Amino acid sequence: MSRFAAPISEQIWNMKYRFQPGEDGSADKRGDASVEDSWRRIARALAAPEAEPEKWEDRFYGALEDFKFLPAGRITAGAGTERKVTLFNCFVMGTVPDDMGGIFDALREAALTMQQGGGIGYDFSTIRPRGAVVKGVGADASGPLSFMDVWDAMCRTIMSAGARRGAMMATMRCDHPDIEEFIAAKSDAARLRNFNLSVLVTDPFMAAVEADGPWDLEFDGKVYRTVQARDLWNRIMQATYDYAEPGVIFIDRINQANNLAYCETIAATNPCGEQPLPPYGACLLGSINMARLVNDPFGDTAGLDEDALADLVATAVRMMDNVVDASQFPLPQQEAEAQAKRRIGLGVTGLADALLMVGQRYGSKEAAAQTEAWLKAIARAAYLASVDLAKEKGAFPLFDAEAYLSSGTMQAMDEDVRAAVGKHGIRNALLTSIAPTGTISLYAGNVSSGIEPVFAYSYTRKVLQKDGTRTEEEVVDYAVQMWRDRFGDAELPDYFVNAQTLAPADHVRMQAAAQKWVDSSISKTINCPEDISFDAFKDVYMQAWESGCKGCTTYRPNDITGSVLSVSESADVAPGEAPAQIADQTGDSAEIVYMSEPLDRPTELEGMTYKLKWPDSSHAIYITVNDVILGGRRRPFEVFINSKNMEHFAWTVALTRMISAVFRRGGDVSFVVEELKAVFDPRGGAWMQGKYVPSILAAIGGILEQHMVKTGFLAGEGLGLKADPTAEVVNLGSGRGPACSSCGDYAMRMVEGCMTCASCGHSKCQ
């Protein structure tokens, strides 16, 4: 009998985590024939640092079995494979120096880290503002945003492990003179596409906001100008309201609570924000699957098995501590930092499902109290397990008992835990974090992700077959499937809620409850309705601040990022029943023609020819786009690309044939534009009509986009990919979602601060 609870789970394993036979020239030619082989491979690799590896291999296998403990994707895919990749998920790079040589040294370090699959964070507050004098060269500084553009271009060329592009977080202090430019950066949908942005908000700034007082923007002791704090706060809020970024990080709160405040200062986080880290900080991730630990789900005696939880946490802590010794690191500084502090990030997934199984409504006061109790039990078990490891293997090298126990987090810890730490030390400086689990939650049977609510009870997924056709399969939330298995078609209880039906305040309540017992931070998205008022939206952030959260990330459907798929509120549609239709970006259904065979070319076609003069080329390139009329709608049918420059001949002919072949197959072919626009030329791009274009291919993509906009095929430049209005999604209402760059499905949604594909789990942030 298969261990997988759903077909999508096995597909995710096969695509993302299975070690294929003979892969990468590994000495082990067998690979993973089953998921049991994957568990055995991981257990063996993480037991290798132990004095009794065989004993611990079996214990580790037991924790992994049936998806109870879920190491993060990099560990699951990489441990025991001999691949030259890091098993760490999160990095914050070294402090960026305020000089050209140091900046580009930092750029090189970032490239090396992303090459091994690490997501990275950077604080760009250390670079002098635009217009500041650069002594000795008679020039003005270009400012941190210009260097962020360079980082963004570099990131496009680095494919992370697991066929994902690198993910980056950029932070900037709220008192930096270029903070207003930073806040507005994402208003251009084509800019900084590989960055998440967050403002480092300080306690004095929040006090100034509340008092409506002045706020100095300064660098290196010089005040450049003074603004009203509330006006700057409103700028942050308006940008986030309009295009979902920047996020907000309460940086002083993070440093005050940090167990290591005595030996490090934090100024940045990893891409999803759950790991605040010092320069060269690194952290690995793993999650306890709460949905697998509930006894008698939906029954009269339903409850979490707390003894099993404590035992599983202790085993998971030991496994993760061993990853520090088993992993490779992109840079020696990262290895030194990890070894000195032995940080781990143990979190949870399936929390919302577990709450449903015990009859709790996610977002209620009762569910928040239950979440706090469960997270406290995990924290206690994790800290005591780390103390036991310290007895056996020694405390982390930078441990200072008095300073450690004086930290904000440890002051709130139970006295017996404090006493144990004081007496024996602790193996891992920080232990808990709640990370994005989009892909591994699918792998584990489509359990709810992290501490997020259930996104949708079920939806229909289109699966591409080997012959090019697509079949449909229902993907059901784990808890909903358990309900069906037990009660058949009985109506779901009223405590079943999802991400879209919850009030933002309910999201904040749950995040704050979990944060009390998480020593790092939490990756969570607070979903807001599109029609939420600006004042109500701002209040969400004030609630997060006042309730003790370390940061806040919201998502409101908007024209820049698109809307996520949303849960239908129709009273006539019960969960899991009639499918709703996805609408296009105007809200109206619009037919898209799909063709199994390409159309014959009509004798005559309407078209337009465009002239592209690339600055470094002696000859112009001419692009002709011919259109066909189908169902009264004009759509691109073929492309001809010509140039007198013979160096261009081969690739222009190839591009002509490939793009024309795609166009003639029909469907929503706007992805061609997006793929071309993302191409980066390592030799450098060019400025054209006031915009930086990263390559000549990107320029061609821009011309195709202009043509599609002009002819009405696309709604507008920069709005991203169009949704498929014929796709059927169970229990989801109108909305449009971008296409997934991995599987092509129009199923991208905002989860835990990152766009994630509901079909294949692809996310740049994991």
Distance CA 192, CA 702 (A): 17
Residue tagged 């078609």 (tokens): 489
| Cα–Cα nearest to 370, from 356, 384, 381, 383 | 356
CA 280/CA 6 separation, integer angstroms: 39
Angle 511-345-356 from CA coordinates, rounded to 5°:
45
User: Which two three-digit tokens encode residue 102?
Assistant: 């140091």
> Sign of the CA dihedral 565, 567, 573, 576?
positive
Q: Which residues of 210-234 are buried (b: 16+ CB within 10 A; e: fewer)?
A: eeeeebebbbeeeeeeebebeebbe
**Run of H or E residues at 621:** strand 621-630
**Residues facing residue 626 across a β-bridge:** 607, 638
Catalytic residue among 90, 272, 283, 740: 272
CA atoms of 148 and 640, how far apart (whole Å):
35
The residues, any chain, with a CB within 8 Å of residue 538's CB and separated by 6 or more, are: 234, 237
Residues 697 and 648: their CA atoms lie apart, in Å, by 11
645: annotated active-site residue? no
- Eight-state DSSP code of residue 223: E
Candidates 274, 337, 638, 752; catalytic one? 274
Cis peptide leading into 246, omega within 30 of 0?
yes
CA separation for the pair 176, 216 (Å, rounded): 9
C-beta neighbour count of 407 within 10 angstroms: 20
**Token duo for residue 184:** 């507005």
Q: What are phi and psi of 474, to 5 degrees?
A: -85, 135
Select from 240, 340, 280, 333 the least CA-distant residue to 123: 280
Distance in angstroms (rounded) separating the CA atoms of residues 677 and 186: 17
Is 110 within 8 Å of 271 (Cβ atoms)? no
Give the pair of three-digit tokens for residue 432: 């808990």
Q: Considering 194, 255, 259, 270, which one is annotated as catalytic?
A: 270
Tokens coding 48: 């290798």
Residues 6+ apart with CB under 8 A from 44: 53, 57, 80
Whether 306 is catalytic is: no
Give yes or no for a contact between 35 and 3, defined as CB atoms under 8 angstroms apart: yes
Whole-angstrom distance, CA of residue 551 vs CA of residue 685: 36
Give the residue carrying structure tokens 């985590």: 17
The distance from CA 291 to its chain's CA centroid, rounded to whole angstroms, is: 22
Other CB atoms within 10 A of residue 642 CB: 17
The three-class DSSP label of residue 557 is coil
Rounded to an integer, what is the distance from CA 201 to the centroid of its chain?
Answer: 21
Sign of the four-CA dihedral 382, 506, 186, 759:
positive
CA angle 140, 146, 148 (to 5 degrees): 140
Q: DSSP per residue over 658-724, as a string? A: HHHHHHHHBS-TTHHHHHHHT---TT--EEETTEEE--HHHHHHHHHHHHHHHTTSSSSTTS-PPP-
Cβ partners under 8 Å of residue 152, min gap 6: 168, 191, 192, 193, 194, 195
The residue type at 671? F
| φ, ψ dihedrals at 638, nearest 5° | -160, 160
> From the DSSP assignment, how many helices (H) and strands (E) are in the chain?
24, 32
Active site residue 54: no
Please give the structure tokens belonging to residue 567.
């849960």
Which residues have a catalytic role annotated? 270, 272, 274
